[in-house]
Amino acid sequence: MPQSRLRRYLRHGTLPQLAVFEASARLSSFTRAAAELHLAQPTVSGQIRKLSETLGTPLFEQVGRQIQLTPSGRCAYDHCLEVLAAIGRLDDALADLRDLAAGELRLAIAGAATRFVARMASDFSQCYPGIAVRLHVDNRAGLLARLARHEDDLYLFAHPPQGLPVVRQAITSNPLVIVARRDDDLARERALSLARVAAAPFVMREPGSGTRASVLEAFARAGLSPNIRMELASDEAIRCAVSEGAGIAALPRDSLDAGDAFSMVDVAGFPIERHWHFVYPVGVRVARAAEAFMRHVRDEAAAPDGRREQGEAAVSKLAA
């Protein structure tokens, strides 16, 4: 459109007039349009009059007590819908850029996922430097409480809650393995029975932890109870305790690396196969930053890149 013609519409504030025109034409009433738009009826009538003057043609005619579009009004209405739809598409397109250029991502995770999520969040932050990642680490009971209060955008569970109105999305495998210090007799033996391991001193996560629940369930199925010598509230504390010779423990395989002072123990019934799951309440609109993070994690988990190959090599070393 030539600039001289475009200035005519810009000078008269055509966009708000089009919004009033669309509502009036759709509702066939200035009164109903005023109520929908929270405007006074004289304001609506004034906007329609100004738009008619800008376009140089009458848009409505009175038929009895009702208004109806003139032929020019019908033509204007069709183009009005196209203009408003184009603005809507523009806003949708910009929303992705606006929301991912800046904002906040609130994650609540189990302690066992700390290393995994820290790595994923670090990669994500490099892709989206404008998004601040807020990470809350808690045990299963704490995560369920936060989920009930809708305090975060996403929750990461090894065992997603059942019987709750939530969406569950599996991400990647998260096997649970038994570890012992390298000079422990159990670390040098093969094909150990669960009964043999149950008698060894065990460093266990605190009550309410998903890791603890999985381990106790595995022993209970065999009619056994582990010999719990120490309870600690984080995987990092357990790693330190095992390194100092306090006993054996169960840890996520993903949290191990070649520099650890302990090795995986070959035990019947282990690893316990688990998967990390993203969880969020049904009916809650997921923030765009959260959608982008889930997509990023799924892509990273599925891609056999150099970093994953290094991790698998480290696990092989620990098992050797």
Residue range 204-208: mean pLDDT, rounded:
89
Please tell me the predicted confidence (pLDDT) of residue 317: 45
pLDDT band at 219 (very low <50, low <70, confident <90, very high): very high
Question: Rounded distance, CA 142 to CA 267, Å?
Answer: 30
Largest CA distance in the chain: 98
Lowest mean pLDDT among 59-63, 91-95, 261-265: 91-95
Q: How far is CA 171 from the centre of its chain?
A: 12
Question: Rounded distance, CA 179 to CA 86, Å?
Answer: 60
Question: Which amino acid would we find at residue 290?
Answer: A
Please tell me the predicted confidence (pLDDT) of residue 1: 47
Kindly report, residue by residue over 103-135, the tens digit of the pLDDT: 789 999 987 788 888 889 999 999 888 889 999
**Going by DSSP bridges, is the β-strand pair 176-181/262-264 parallel, antiparallel, or unpaired?**
antiparallel
pTM: 0.56
Lowest mean pLDDT among 74-78, 235-239, 269-273, 305-309: 305-309
Kindly report, residue by residue over 14-51, the tens digit of the pLDDT: 888 999 999 999 999 999 999 999 999 999 999 999 99
Backbone angles phi, psi at 272, to 5 degrees: -85, 120
Q: Does the bond joining 271 to the residue before it have cis omega, within 30 degrees of 0?
A: yes
Kindly report, residue by residue over 83-96, the tens digit of the pLDDT: 888 887 777 667 66
